[in-house]
A and B are shown apart, each in its own frame.
Chain A
Amino acid sequence: MKHVLKPSQYAILLAIMLTASVGDSFLKRGMEQVGAVNMHHLGLLWHALFNPYVDIGILLLIGFFATYTTALSWADLTFVMPATAFGYVVIALMGRYWLHEHLSLSRWIGILLIVCAVGFVAGGPSRTEHPELDQMDAGAGR
């Protein structure tokens, strides 16, 4: 069972935390500029691809997808999930210490809960081992 992650695997988890949250922020900023998309104006989705904020957001989300996929090759989905949630903490703390935004008590409790969630899963094994299923999968998948 793999209990101890390598430094490169911690780096992958860190990249998951940063790329998703910052990418989403860029996308939101871009979509604010593009305007509301509805069933009668679906062409705006194409137009959105030419917005620089949307483009940076897409690049960051491609980075997220690559690192997330890599993490899932050596860890369980339920192990990686809290790492993706930690991105919300990153955004909130950036707002607090970089943009000097006020963080309410409920937001601090939210940050604490997500940090606890990361701590809960990080203390356990990263992967559920079931050799029989893996053997069947390997035969079918490679």
Chain B
Amino acid sequence: MTLSPVVHVWSAILFVAALAVIGEVMIASGMRQLGDLDDIRALHGLGGTIGSVLTNARFVTGALCMALNFFSMLFALSIANLSLAGPAIAALTYIGNAIAAKFFLHEKVDRRRWLATICVVVGVILLAR
């Protein structure tokens, strides 16, 4: 059975967005775990800072998701127009990030940040028209 092109395109868009959300949340979680990189660099130098980032399990998991996201993005852009795939992936990623940041990273996503997220999503969609 062949999937219709619309289902094909939107499956790719959803997959790319989901990978981006997982990757960004894992990286954000890893960086929060490590703390301010400027402070680490002052103590351990640039090499030590890079080492501490690259040996953080959450960061590495997130980076792998982002690498997968990169290649799946190339694939998605080859089957969908940039004018559709770009804003759709961005909008879904911004909404997914805000929700995941609230529930998984325990960030204080107050009214100001929800409003910013909605403005970004609508803004990105309008810019792509």
Contacts and interface: CB of A to CB of B under 8 A. Distances in A.
Interface of A: 8, 24, 27-28, 31, 35-38, 45, 48, 61, 65, 68-70, 72-74, 76-79, 81-82, 85, 88-89, 92, 104, 106-107, 109-114, 116-118, 120-121, 123-124, 128, 130, 133-134, 137-138, 140-142
8 smallest CB-CB distances across A and B, nearest first, come from: A110-B126, A113-B123, A110-B127, A141-B33, A117-B119, A114-B123, A117-B116, A72-B31
Interface string B109-129: 110110111011011111111
A30 to B, nearest CB: 9
Contacts of A138: 33, 35
A106 B113 CA distance: 23
Given A69-B27, A81-B94, A117-B116, 16 more contacts: A31-B74, A31-B78, A37-B78, A61-B70, A73-B31, A73-B34, A79-B113, A81-B98, A114-B123, A114-B124, A114-B127, A117-B117, A118-B116, A124-B110, A134-B35, A142-B52
B113 A78 contact: yes
Identify the interface centre among B36, B107, B123, B128: most chain A CB within 10 Å of its CB.
Answer: B123
Contacts of B25: 77
Contacts of A76: 28, 101, 105, 107-108
Contacts of A68: 27
Main secondary structure of the interface of B (DSSP, over half): helix
Nearest to A9: B38
B11 to A, nearest CB: 13
A72 B19 CA distance: 18
Contacts of B56: 141
Contacts of B86: 24
A120 B112 contact: yes
A110 B32 contact: no
